[in-house]
Structure 1
Amino acid sequence: MCLLPWLMLCACAVAVTSQPHNVTRRESGSGHSKRVVCYYTNWSVYRPGTAKFSPQNINPYLCTHLIYAFGGLTRENSLRPYDKYQDIEQGGYAKFTGLKTYNKQLKTMLAIGGWNEGSTRFSPLVADEERRSELVHNVVRFLRQNHFDGLDLDWEYPAFRDGGKPRDRQNYALLVQELRAEFDRESEKTGRPRLLLTMAVPAGIEYIDKGYDIQKLNRHLDFMNILSYDYHSAFEPAVNHHSPLYPLEEDSEYNFDAQLSIDYTINHYLKLGADRDKLVLGIPTYGRSYTLFNPLATEIGSPADGPGEQGDATREKGYLAYYEICESLQSDEWKVERPNPNAMGPYAYKGNQWVGYDDIDIVKLKSQYVSDNGLGGIMFWAIDNDDFRGKCHGRPYPLIEAGKEAMLASARTSNDVVSVTPSRGSSKTSPKRPSSSSSSSGSGSGRQGPQSGLRTNKKRPSSSRRQNKPVRSSTTTTTTTTPAQNYPGTTPEPPTTPDPGSDFKCKDEGFFPHPRDCKKYFWCLDSGPSNLGIVAHQFTCPSGLFFNKGADSCDYARNVVCKKKSGETSSSTTKAPPITAATSRTTRISSSTVTARTTSTTTPRPVVDDDEEEYGEDDYEDEEDEGEETNPQDIKELLNIIKNIGTVLVQ
C-alpha cells in the first residue's frame, strides 16, 4: 500500500517531463520570409518633373509584395480602375504586374477602397448577401484578367464615415470569409496558385473595436497591413509626430496619448486574437507638416496655425514626400530635432514651417521591433515617396532599403526558436519602452514620404491607463499559410534603367518642347478638381517629324530649329525588353534592339462606359512604353479623359 503513492508520483513526473513544450523552430532561411510590402500610388505618375513615378521606376527585387493603389467598386458589384486612362489604356496594370517577369517570387496585388471611397458603396454592398456573392465572383475575374496575385481590402472605415452602419463589422467579416472561400475554390478547380487576400487595418483603437472582427478576419486573411501612421493629422491644433513607435511620456494614468503609438496598437491586435506573423507594420515614407502659430515655439505640442505649405511635387498641404524633406534638409536653414530617437522619428523646422517624419534610424528601429516581436513584416506607404532617385543618400529607396536590411539581418541572427509555450502558460511580454534620451539638433537629414490619405484616428481616444501588455501565451492554429520566400538581404540592381523623368515643369497650359529631345514635347493641362495643378503630359512625334514650337505641332526637320535632333543622335543603344501586357494565360516579354527611332503600334482603346466594367481577355492588348509616338490629330480627345480623371482625388 505504501508503494502506491510513490508510483503515482513517478508517473506524474514522467508525464510532466515528457510533455511537449510546443517549441516552434524556424526552417532554414525562414528569416527571409518576412514580408516587405510596398504600396504604389497610380496618381504619382502625374507628378511634375523628376518626381514623376511610374511602374518603370520600381525595382522588382526591392519588395516581396507590391500593391497597386487603388481600384474601386461599381454599382454592378464589380471592381473598376480608378483611372482607366492610366491603369488600362496606358498599360499601368500591365507594366505593374509585368514586373513579375523579372522576379518570379514577386507578388503584385490590387488594393480597392482608400479614403475617398469611404463607406458609401462598401456598407450597402456587404450588407446584401446576393451582392456579396456576385462581387466575389467578379473579383476573381478582374484579378485574373489583369494578372494580379491577390486583393488588398482597404475600406476606410467600417461603421464610420458617411454611409457606415454598426453592422458593418460583422458584414465585412462575412465578405472576407466568402472571398477566401471563392479564392480557394478557384485555385482547386484551375490548379493556379491561390489568390492572396489581405486587408489594410487601422491603428486607431476605436476604429478597430467598432469595425473589425479580428478573430474572424485573422482566420481568412493572409496578412493585415496596419496603417500605423497618421496617429496625428496636419489639421490638429498642435504639432505632433504622426508615427511614434512609443509614446514620449512614461506609462501613467495621466498619459492620455498612450494609445497613439505603434506599440499600443500592435499589442491591442494581439489581445484581440491576431496572429503575430500576420501583422505587417506600416512605416510612412512621408511627413506631416504644420504651419507654426509662433515660429519660436517648435517643440512637440506647440500650437499650429493649420497644415504646412504644399511641396512642389506632392502638392498637398500638410503632406511632404521623404524626398522633398531630405532635399530641403540639405539647406542649413532647416534645423532638425530628435527629442527621443528611440521612440519616434525626428522633426525639422524653418521659419513657421514644421514637419515630422521618419528617418533611416527610426525605420531601422521599427524593423527591429518587428523581428523582436515575431511580426509578419514591414509595409511602406508608399514606394513613390521614398527618395527613389537616390539624391540624398547615394542610393535609391534609402528608407525601404534600411528597413528591409535591418529586419532581415535581425531575423538571421536571432535565435532559431520563434516561440516556446510551456504547458501552463508563462507569458512573454513585449519589449520595454526605451527611456527618453537627450535631444539633438542640427542640419541632419531627416526623411519620409507617401501619398496622402491613409488616415487613421483623427480624434484623441478616451484616456486610459496603459498596462503591461503580455504576448499571448498559447499557440494559435490557423488555416492560412503563406509560402516562405527567400529574398536576398541586399537588393539586386534593377534589370532595366529606371525612367529618368524630366526636369521640365509646367508653368502655364499649352504645348512646350522637350528640353533635350526635339522629337518630344509636353502638353501642359490643368488637372481640374484633383488639385494637382498643371500636369505635364509627354508625347513623341511620329517617325521623321520633330516638334515645331512655332506651329505647336510636329513638322519636318527642315522647318525645325534643333541643335541635336533625336533621330540623328549617337549610335543605337540596347534597351532591356519592355514589359508588355499579356493574355490571361501567359505573360510574355517581347525582346528587341531599339534605336532612337521607334515604330509605333496602333492599339485600339477599349470602349467602356463609365459604369461598364466587363473586361474581356481581348481587351488587354500590348501597350507601348512611355514615349510612344503620338498622332497629333488624336491628342485632343485626351483632354476630356484628363478632366474626367481629375475627379479622382488622392487618398
Structure 2
Amino acid sequence: FVRMCYFTNWAQYSSPPFTKDDIDAIDPFMCSHIIYAFANLKDNELLEYEWNDQESYSKINALKSSNAKLKTLLSVGGASNGEAPLNSTLSSEENMRHFVNQSIAFIIENGFDGINLEFSGKRNKEKFADLVTMLREGVDKVSATHPMEIAMFGPTAQDFIDGSFAVARLSQELDFVILGTFYFQGDPNTLALHTALYPKRPDSGEWSTSNTAWAVDSWMERGMPKDKIVIIVATTAVKYTLDDVTNHRPGDGATKGDTVGFQETCTFIKDSNAQCYQDNQQVGDYCVRGNTWISFDGSSTLTYKAEWVIQHGLGGIATWTLDRDDFSNSCTMGAYNLTKSWTSVLSDASKQ
C-alpha cells in the first residue's frame, strides 16, 4: 500500500511557515512517496513555480539518502496553473511529444522518480489519453537507468470523470490515480463533512455522490483497477458559521468559511472548549462552539479509513498536505499526528 504525502511549495508562506529546516526534519520513512506540488506547465514545458523551487527540490530528494526506498514525484498543474496550458499541449502531436521529452528530462535532471498530472478540468479526453500513452512510452525508454512512475489526479464529480478521462485507456498506462476525495460540498449553505467516506442517509442527488466510497466505485466501474486507486485524506479542515446554534448536524444551514490546517483546528478544540462529535454514518469528525462549526478528520477516523483501504484492496492513501499537519508538534500530540495515524496502519499491512 502506497503512503503518498503532498508537500506544497507555498507552504513557506503559511502560518506557521514550513521552512527549509522543516523539510530536513521530515521522517523519510513515514511516507512511501512525497509529491512536490506544483510545477507549472507553460508552452509545453515544465517550469519551476517558486523562486526557490530548485533548492526545495534538492532538499526533498535528499531525504532519499536516509531511505533509498522513498520515491519523489513532481506534480504539474494545479488550480493556479489552470487547464489552458494543458489544452494547448493537447492541440497537436508535436506539442505533446515536446512535453513528453522535456518533462522526462526535467524530472531526471531534478532527481525525481516520476510525475503526477494534476489537471481536473474539461478537455478532449481521448487526446489526454494519447498524451499519457506517449508519456508511458517515453518513461519506458529510460526505465533501465531512470525508472519512473506516472500518477494522475482524478476528480470525483461524475461529469468531470466522464467528460475528461478515458478511464479504460488510462488504466493501462498509469501507475496510480489519486482521487480528490476531500472538499466535498453540495450546497455551500449547508453543513458538510468535507472528507465523508459514505453518504448521509437518506440521501439523493449531488449529496449521494459527495463521498469517497462513491468516487472509488465510479472509477472502478469505468475500468480503473482498484489497486491503482489512491484516496486523499486531508490534514485541513473547513469552517462554517451556523445559521442557528441549536442546529449543528451535517445538512443543517450554515455559511461556508475558510479552510484551515490542523494546527488551527487543534487550537480551536483545545482553547475554546468546543464540543466534538464523530459521525459514524458518514465517517468524519466535527466540532462546534457558539456559531463556529469545523469539519475535519481526527486520528481515529484516519485509522479507520486506512483499514477501509486495506479491506477494499485499494492502492493506498495520499495526504493533502504534510505542511498543514502539526509538523512542529505545537498541539503536543506528536509531530505529524494525523499523517502518522494512517501511515503506520498501511506500513504495517504492507509488511505482512
Gaps of 5+ in 1: 1-33, 160-164, 308-317, 414-651
Correspondence for 1:501: none
2:335 corresponds to 1:369: no
Q: 1:275 and 1:197, CA in 2 relative to 1: closer, same or farther beyond 3 A?
A: same
Map 1:233-632 onto structure 2 (within 5 A): 236-250=188-202, 254=204, 257-307=207-257, 318-338=258-278, 340-341=279-280, 343-392=282-331, 394-410=333-349
SS across alignment from 1:365:
helix
Name the structure 2 match of 1:68: 36
Q: Distance in 1 between matches of 2:53 and 2:272?
A: 41
Shift of 1:388: 1.4
Please show how residues 68-87 of structure 1 align to structure 2 within 5 Å: 68-75=36-43, 77-83=44-50, 85-87=51-53
Q: How far did 1:387 drift? A: 1.4
- Picking from 30, 33, 39, the partner of 2:6 is 39
| Residue of 141, 146, 168 corresponding to 1:185 | 141
Q: State the 1:56 CA deviation.
A: 2.0
2:126 corresponds to = 170
What residue identity is the alignment partner of 2:179? I
Amino acid at match of 1:279: I
- Distance in 2, matches of 1:35 and 1:406, equals 11
Q: If each structure's strand is expressed as a fraction of its own residues, which one has the higher value?
A: 2
| Contact kept in structure 2, 1:364 and 1:407, CA below 8 Å | no
1:216 aligns to 2:169 (yes or no): yes
Q: Output the CA distance in 1 between the equivalents of 2:210 and 2:149.
A: 30
1:582-637 deviations in Å (ceiling 9; x for gaps): xxxxxxxxxxxxxxxxxxxxxxxxxxxxxxxxxxxxxxxxxxxxxxxxxxxxxxxx
Q: How many residues were matched structurally?
A: 351
Cα RMSD between the aligned structures? 1.9
1:305 and 1:401 map into 2 onto residues whose CA distance is: 32
Q: CA deviation at 1:280?
A: 0.8
| Cα separation, partners in 2 of 1:96 and 1:275, compared to 1, 3 Å | same
1:419-441 Cα distance to aligned partner (Å, 9 max, x none): xxxxxxxxxxxxxxxxxxxxxxx
The answer as to whether partners of 1:203 and 1:228 remain within 8 angstroms in 2 is yes
Separation in 2, partners of 1:141, 1:369 = 38
Change (3 A) 1:296 1:56: same
| 8 Å Cα contact 2:3-2:33 kept in structure 1 | yes
Q: Is the 8 A contact 1:71 1:110 kept in 2?
A: yes
Structure 2 residue aligned with 1:230: 183
Structure number with bigger Rg:
1
Q: Which residue of 2 aligns with 1:92?
A: 56
Q: 1:294 offset after TM fit, Å?
A: 2.8
Q: Is the 8 A contact 1:113 1:156 kept in 2?
A: no
Residue pair 1:72, 1:81 contacting (<8 A) in 2 also: yes
Q: CA deviation at 1:51?
A: 5.7
Q: Is the 8 A contact 1:36 1:379 kept in 2?
A: yes
Q: TM-score, normalised by structure 2?
A: 0.94
The CA deviation at 1:345 is 1.2
CA displacement at 1:239 relative to structure 2: 1.6
Decide whether aligned partners of structure 1 residues 118 and 185 sit closer, same or farther in structure 2, where only a CA change above 3 A counts. Answer: same
> C-alpha distance in 2, partners of 1:361/1:342?
15
Q: 1:145 to 1:256 in 2, by over 3 A?
A: closer
- Cα distance in structure 2, aligned partners of 1:383 and 1:259: 27
Q: SS where residue 100 of structure 1 aligns?
A: helix
Counterpart of 1:362 in structure 2: which amino acid? T
Structure 2 contact 189–254 (Cα < 8 Å) conserved:
yes
Task: Determine which of 125, 148, 156 is the counterpart of 2:112.
Answer: 148
